[in-house]
Amino acid sequence: MMISLSSKWAEVLVSQPETGMGYQVATVFLKDGRHYERVMIVGGTIASIHGSPTILFEELDIDKIVVTHDKG
């Protein structure tokens, strides 16, 4: 399962540099205080979370996205 992010997050992502060609690696902070590191975002879509077989949240849960370029 992937999560296509709405235009709300486009400005946040476009204002930060790419980690590689067409993708960014970020930490996603959720409204409930949890956060996920090494989240792969490809073309405005959350594609994967390092170490997790699924995406454990929905877009409505996201409080902040910080591009870190941390590929581990």
CA distance 28 to 7: 16
Contact of 46 with 65, CB cutoff 8 Å: no
At 70 the pLDDT is 92
In a domain, 42, yes or no: yes
In a domain, 72, yes or no: no
Structural domain including 14 reads 3-67
Contact of 13 with 44, CB cutoff 8 Å: yes
Q: Which residues, at least 6 apart from 14, have a Cβ–Cβ distance to it below 8 Å? A: none
- In the chain, the number of structural domains is 1
At 67 the pLDDT is 96
At 19 the pLDDT is 96
CA-based torsion, 17, 21, 27, 30: positive or negative: positive
Q: What is the pLDDT of residues 19-71, one digit of tens each?
A: 999 999 999 999 999 999 999 999 999 999 999 999 999 999 999 999 999 98
